[in-house]
Amino acid sequence: MASGGFWSLENENGGENSNQNQSTPRAWCQAAHKFTGDLGSKLYALLNVGEGEKTASTIAQKVGDPTENCDCNKPCNCSKRNLDFSNLYSTDLLPALDGDLATITFLQEVVDVMLAYIVKSFDRSTKVIDFHYPNELLETNNWDLSDEPETLEDVLINCRAALKYSIKTGHPRYFNQLSTGLDMVGLAAEWLTSTANTNMFTYEVAPVFVLLEYITLRKMREIVGWPDGQGDGLFSPGGAISNMYAMLVARFKMFPEVKEKGMSSAPRLAAFTSEHCHFSIKKGAAALGIGTDSVICIKADERGKMMPSDLERRIVEAKQKGLVPFFVSATAGTTVYGAFDPLNAVADICKRHNIWMHVDGAWGGSLLMSRKHRWKLDGVERANSMTWNPHKMMSVPLQSSALLVREEGLMQSCNQLHACYLFQQDKHYDMAYDTGDKALQCGRHVDIFKLWLMWRAKGTFGFEAQIDKCLELSEYLYNKIKDREGYEMVFDGEPQHTNVCFWYLPPGVRYLEDKEERRRRLHKVAPVIKARMMEHGTTMVSYQPQGNKVNFFRMVISNPAATYEDIDFLVEEIERLGQDL
Amino acid sequence: MASGGFWSLENENGGENSNQNQSTPRAWCQAAHKFTGDLGSKLYALLNVGEGEKTASTIAQKVGDPTENCDCNKPCNCSKRNLDFSNLYSTDLLPALDGDLATITFLQEVVDVMLAYIVKSFDRSTKVIDFHYPNELLETNNWDLSDEPETLEDVLINCRAALKYSIKTGHPRYFNQLSTGLDMVGLAAEWLTSTANTNMFTYEVAPVFVLLEYITLRKMREIVGWPDGQGDGLFSPGGAISNMYAMLVARFKMFPEVKEKGMSSAPRLAAFTSEHCHFSIKKGAAALGIGTDSVICIKADERGKMMPSDLERRIVEAKQKGLVPFFVSATAGTTVYGAFDPLNAVADICKRHNIWMHVDGAWGGSLLMSRKHRWKLDGVERANSMTWNPHKMMSVPLQSSALLVREEGLMQSCNQLHACYLFQQDKHYDMAYDTGDKALQCGRHVDIFKLWLMWRAKGTFGFEAQIDKCLELSEYLYNKIKDREGYEMVFDGEPQHTNVCFWYLPPGVRYLEDKEERRRRLHKVAPVIKARMMEHGTTMVSYQPQGNKVNFFRMVISNPAATYEDIDFLVEEIERLGQDL
């Protein structure tokens, strides 16, 4: 048995076997008793005898007799129901003197709220969202901040309200974003990460997490195909920041003097990416002082893939204009179409022109975990850097975004500033693990544990199965609607990722002969259906226009909870909500 | 009573009263029964009758007879102890068909591990850290990632191991960083945030959290002193990023064309900050293409405060050299000394020269919550932007860092790129709440709920009390050691923040006459004592050199769990561990 609590590792209690010999009939009570193994004796003492006297004057007055209605003969948590939260405040919780009981009871109450929410999240009979317009939501509750504290009862009410009005992002019919799903092991790891509440900058304050980041990044680089998993990287707060890091490091590699001297020491630079790229490439260029005009958008083919011939042409053109090409970002899984740029062809061009090749695999990078689908990223091993967001296709809780860099030491040279109060050079351990100076951030959130623990729980094969299943579902959707009356695909052919882009044409639009009128009406269909989905709360899927194409649905599947029936439901729901348009 | 679970809001079950009429004696069992209010009937059906047949073939085989040893007459979780995690995998958890029971039991097991850890964290008889050197830690466990999954029992072992080797950052004797402490309400809010697992970019996917960010930022701006709390802002992944945002927005305000044209469209810029500033100002300048050489460090006085006369002089000098001063970052609470730059004097100079004034209050900003101490930030209301990290002095779980900007709309103009797949312009709700385009990040972690919920639970007065207490403790420490034998203060006078900087001189160093030898020996004292602290696990405090000053201890107090006795302990421990040096 794996139970026994944290202390069992430290041999401070008799462990599981002794519990099994007890004849207490109710297992939950047994769990409580077990939990109170070492704690309980303290609680018991506090609440009943001896050193409990000082408690009696404070907590006990507030909670009444905590042993009331309890016929346990042992130290226990039976007083849970007697804790009157309407009379307790946060100051009654730890580190308050003898705040243990109130703390455990309060946290357990929050856990109960969450467990109920989690189970409901997977129940198709519940709504994906209980939608309210902003002004309505403001009126459902008093959300204001004031000088005076509120009771723990009110705090719990706030917790329930926050979840009640949140999206159930783990719901099997939530398809709205590239990040969906709620993984139970990942969630447990996030709870634990919050409990550890530390920072990634030094081994000193995050020994376990720093090592796990090291191990996980190396594993990811092995999967990319870099020899022995060598190279560098870190987990950053999202794909946009990872992409910005890549651009920053690429600039440093070519013009290291920019770090001290600024962009005035470099010639005018040029970066290249597909017209279907993620907007973070331009955001990064704006922030880094390169400028959005220096991001040259390369034509994509009908399927959304960058055209190598156009890339080559534009690089040559830029050089002729006196610009210095320094960065190409190929996209592995575009946001809207799910297209994979031809990485080998891009790598050839980058090699020829000596340009840093970055692969933005925020969305599609996870396909590297699938033996069936990883060919779509062939050539990624030739890249200089890669963004890969496990919080998307691998359903790791938000956020989990890795930047991987092939050349070791570059991130450190690029970003380090040797803050002596943090990265002391006379520490008693191997300071190679103090990786904080690689980052732009000082404090960095622990994003590693959830991915690492999920990987342990699933194995690479488990992630593969999850990813393959999502791709099967999208293939199913594609086959279901490609010839179905009332549907038009935005691009021909089977999607490469789980993105299925399509128009639904309600009967009133379907037969319109005036093409302009048809376009005009069709443009409004997806927003209305989406609004109705949210008001009914039945499902959520994204839509957008693109180029000269009017609003279309972009279905994506990254939610491991989704099934064929949910795909069928989505199609039926679109038709049900849209047929009168 | 506040209990009743999430569903009680939705009136789907009889609620609390019906439970109170039951005569079940053990409250924990009652809680289990209550929890199973709606869920339990499903579980009961699954496990015993009817539709449970399909379960019997899967889960039940693995878990044995879950009703064994249970004499409940009702649906219940009594099977908890019968779940054999060594035979279960993550694929048995939700969204697995009928994965409810395994999920709840697994998550509850993790919660038990965490609750025990939390209680221990506040227990002074436990170690702050069970320290192992990196190579040792790698050997304590198998941390590698493999293709095959491991059982949930192994997952739980990993959870226990991760906590066992982590720092107890909530421990009353953990003083190592500016962020310490573990707030129970904040922790509950983080757990809940992880459970909601969503993104901040649109109202659509985070209705509650987006509103709460809006409300909280407005409140913070009110406290800063901007009329009606008007202005702008967002929560970013840490103070370094908040400072970088400020510099980015300041540059955009003066040279908006840099967004498109890059730094080649602007003259050479100059930024100014104290020589005691946080290193993120230079990191930001490096990243933004401004260059670290363009960050001009202004002299600080003996107490670490920026000298306005030097600021004025250096601005004039920069102008004479043809540079364009665009940004002054005054520090409110420096990292090492805890010094507050004279904000009104800085504001006068910025006004005179028409320069953006930023206040880096990552560490000291929280003193605005204290009526007794907020005078230290007098003049902050004249700033154009401010960084304020509630995860430091307000003990909000990591990360919670706000950037506040006085001029509304500037962040949006600076960073927006109108991604049409995310910020559709034909949504059915007020799109003013889709604030994602203000950010450099695309997906943004929900950092707001923990701060908001703590504020509700404590009230502004509660934060004030917490902050005032930490300052009292540092005053106590200062008074205790300033004239104590063997101590030398790094600067004279009472600290303005909770930073107390001092040398401890062991007897062997204290009486050395050779000044150079004394310096050399003293430089090694703090690192050795710190290493011993970690090896003993009794306490942790930071040290560093600064300028020509050899290694000294920087004691900071942000941990609400700390007491006078812990300060006494620290002093005794330093002397105990250092007396032989």
pLDDT tens, residue by residue, B326-341: 999 999 999 999 999 9
Residue pair A251/A327 in contact (Cβ under 8 Å)? The answer is yes
pLDDT digit string (tens) for B480-490?
A: 999 999 999 99
Whether A1 is in a domain gets the answer no
- Contact of A126 with chain B, judged by CB distance below 8 Å, is answered with no
Asked whether the beta carbons of residue B1 and residue A113 sit closer than 8 angstroms, the reply is no
pLDDT digit string (tens) for B496-534?
A: 999 999 999 999 999 999 999 999 999 999 999 999 999
CATH of the domain at A580: 3.40.640.10
Q: Which helix (H) or strand (E) holds B545?
A: strand B540-546
Instruction: Compute CA distances A279 → A335, A453, B237, whole Å.
Output: 10, 31, 20
Last residue of a domain, one of A103, A127, A162: A162
Spatial CA neighbour of A178 closest among A396, A451, A363: A363
Same-domain pairing of A363 and A471: yes
Over residues B102-107, mean pLDDT? 96
Spatial CA neighbour of A208 closest among B509, B50, B131, B549: B131
Query: Which of A287, A543, A545 is nearest residue B288 as measured by Cβ atoms?
Result: A287
Q: Which residue has the tokens 């189970």?
A: A119
Q: Which helix (H) or strand (E) holds A312?
A: helix A308-320
How many CB atoms within 10 Å of residue A535?
14
Whether B140 is in a domain gets the answer yes
Same-domain pairing of A119 and A179: no
**Residue pLDDT tens, chain A, 581 long:** 333 322 222 333 333 333 333 332 233 333 334 343 344 444 433 333 233 333 333 444 444 444 444 444 444 444 455 799 999 999 999 999 999 999 999 999 999 999 999 999 999 999 999 999 999 999 998 999 999 999 999 999 999 999 999 999 999 999 999 999 999 999 999 999 999 999 999 999 999 999 999 999 999 999 999 999 999 999 999 999 999 999 999 999 999 999 999 999 999 999 999 999 999 999 999 999 999 999 999 999 999 999 999 999 999 999 999 999 999 999 999 999 999 999 999 999 999 999 999 999 999 999 999 999 999 999 999 999 999 999 999 999 999 999 999 999 999 999 999 888 888 888 999 888 898 899 999 999 999 999 999 999 999 999 999 999 999 999 999 999 999 999 999 999 999 999 999 999 999 999 999 999 999 999 999 999 999 999 999 999 999 999 999 999 999 999 999 999 999 999 999 999 999 99
**Which two tokens mark A355?**
């340009």
Distance from CA of A67 to the nearest CA of B (A): 10
Q: According to the model, what pLDDT value does residue A138 have?
A: 94
3-class state of residue B73 by DSSP: coil
**Domain encompassing residue A121:** 6-162
Residue pair B88/B105 in contact (Cβ under 8 Å)? The answer is no
Which chain B residues contact residue A27 at CB under 8 A?
Answer: 69-70, 77-82
Residue pair A285/B440 in contact (Cβ under 8 Å)? The answer is no
Which of residues 50 through 109 in chain A touch B, CB cutoff 8 A?
A: 69-72, 76-82, 84-86, 89-91, 93-95, 99-100, 103-104, 106-109
Which chain B residues contact residue A449 at CB under 8 A?
Answer: 162
Same-domain pairing of A349 and A493: yes
Find all residues with CB under 8 Å of A245, minimum gap 6, and list them. A234, A236, A403, A411, A440
Distance from CA of A118 to the nearest CA of B (A): 7
**Which two tokens mark A294?**
């220096």
What's the CA gap between A550 and A555, in Å, rounded?
Answer: 16
Which chain B residues contact residue A190 at CB under 8 A?
Answer: 191, 194
Last residue of a domain, one of A162, A190, A218: A162
Helices (H), B387-514: 410-415, 448-481, 507-510
How many CB atoms within 10 Å of residue B221?
24
Residue pair A458/A466 in contact (Cβ under 8 Å)? The answer is yes
Q: At what angle do helices B184-196 and A100-121 cross, to 10 degrees?
A: 10
Report CA B140 to chain centroid distance, whole Å: 29
What's the CA gap between B497 and A481, in Å, rounded?
Answer: 65
Pairing of strands A174-175, A540-546: parallel
Whether B191 is in a domain gets the answer no
CA terminus-to-terminus distance, chain A? 58
Asked whether the beta carbons of residue A460 and residue B147 sit closer than 8 angstroms, the reply is yes
Residue pair A395/A466 in contact (Cβ under 8 Å)? The answer is yes
Which chain A residues contact residue B21 at CB under 8 A?
Answer: none
Residue pair A204/B534 in contact (Cβ under 8 Å)? The answer is yes
Any idea of the CA torsion for B530, B531, B532, B535, to the nearest 10 degrees? 130
Residue pair A551/A545 in contact (Cβ under 8 Å)? The answer is yes
Which chain A residues contact residue B335 at CB under 8 A?
Answer: 421
Report CA A488 to chain centroid distance, whole Å: 32
How many CB atoms within 10 Å of residue B500?
29
Same-domain pairing of A119 and A88: yes
Whether B157 is in a domain gets the answer yes
Number of domains in chain A: 2
Whether B355 is in a domain gets the answer no
Mean pLDDT (chain B, rounded)? 88
Asked whether the beta carbons of residue A199 and residue B534 sit closer than 8 angstroms, the reply is no
Instruction: Compute CA distances B162 → A58, A456, B121, B168, whole Å.
Output: 35, 13, 14, 11
Residue pair B287/A258 in contact (Cβ under 8 Å)? The answer is no
What's the CA gap between B380 and A335, in Å, rounded?
Answer: 42
Q: At what angle do helices A448-481 and A564-578 cross, to 10 degrees?
A: 60
Which chain B residues contact residue A169 at CB under 8 A?
Answer: 196-198, 205
Same-domain pairing of A487 and A579: yes
Any idea of the CA torsion for B304, B310, B315, B318, to the nearest 10 degrees? -100
Spatial CA neighbour of B361 closest among B339, B402, B331, B395: B331
Asked whether the beta carbons of residue B159 and residue A429 sit closer than 8 angstroms, the reply is no
Which of residues 380 through 399 in chain A touch B, CB cutoff 8 A?
A: 391, 397-399
Which chain B residues contact residue A551 at CB under 8 A?
Answer: 424, 426
Mutate to test the interface with B, among A184, A296, A458 (most CBs of B within 10 A): A184
Report CA A33 to chain centroid distance, whole Å: 36
Whether B264 is in a domain gets the answer no
What's the CA gap between A31 and A74, in Å, rounded?
Answer: 13
Percentage of chain B surpassing pLDDT 90?
82
- Contact of A8 with chain B, judged by CB distance below 8 Å, is answered with yes
Same-domain pairing of A103 and A211: no
Triad A328, A332, A334: Cα angle to 5°: 100
Q: Which residue has the tokens 């999954």?
A: B149
Distance from CA of B342 to the nearest CA of A (A): 23
Query: Which of A5, A216, A441 is nearest residue B238 as measured by Cβ atoms?
Result: A441
Q: Is the pLDDT of residue B437 over 70?
A: yes
Same-domain pairing of A200 and A115: no
- Contact of B282 with chain A, judged by CB distance below 8 Å, is answered with yes
Over residues B353-366, mean pLDDT? 98
Main-chain dihedrals φ then ψ at residue B325, nearest 5 degrees:
-65, 125
**Which two tokens mark A177?**
């974003």
What's the CA gap between A379 and B193, in Å, rounded?
Answer: 38
Residue pair A558/A395 in contact (Cβ under 8 Å)? The answer is yes
Last residue of a domain, one of A120, A136, A162: A162
What's the CA gap between B300 and B549, in Å, rounded?
Answer: 15
Query: Which of A179, A208, A219 is nearest residue B165 as measured by Cβ atoms?
Result: A208
Q: Is the pLDDT of residue B77 over 80?
A: no
Query: Which of A100, A263, A459 is nearest residue B289 as measured by Cβ atoms?
Result: A263
- Contact of B155 with chain A, judged by CB distance below 8 Å, is answered with yes
Q: Which residue has the tokens 């959300």?
A: A143
Spatial CA neighbour of B393 closest among B342, B475, B466, B473: B466
Sign of CA dihedral A535, A540, A542, A543: negative
Whether B120 is in a domain gets the answer yes
Q: Considering only alpha carbons, which residue of chain A is nearest residue B66?
A: A27
pLDDT category of residue B425 using cuts at 50, 70 and 90: confident
Residue pair B537/B130 in contact (Cβ under 8 Å)? The answer is yes
Mutate to test the interface with A, among B47, B166, B413 (most CBs of A within 10 A): B166
Whether A329 is in a domain gets the answer yes
Same-domain pairing of A505 and A577: yes
Same-domain pairing of A129 and A174: no
Q: What is the ipTM of this complex?
A: 0.90
How many CB atoms within 10 Å of residue A514?
9
Mutate to test the interface with B, among A138, A434, A456, A470 (most CBs of B within 10 A): A456
What's the CA gap between B158 and B150, in Å, rounded?
Answer: 10
Let me know how many helices (H) and strands (E) chain A has, helices first: 19, 12
Task: Provide DSSP, A104-173.
Answer: HHHHHHHHHHHHHHHHHHT-TTS-S-----HHHHHHHS-----SS---HHHHHHHHHHHHHTS--TTSTT
Burial (CB count <10 Å: 0-12, 13-18, 19+), residue A231: buried
Starting at the edge strand found earlier in the chain, the sheet holding A324-331 runs A232-236, A401-405, A385-388, A356-361, A324-331, A269-274, A295-298
How many CB atoms within 10 Å of residue B519?
14
Distance from CA of B290 to the nearest CA of A (A): 4
Which chain B residues contact residue A29 at CB under 8 A?
Answer: 26, 28-29
Which of residues 524 through 563 in chain A touch B, CB cutoff 8 A?
A: 524, 527, 530-531, 534, 540, 542-546, 551, 554, 560-561
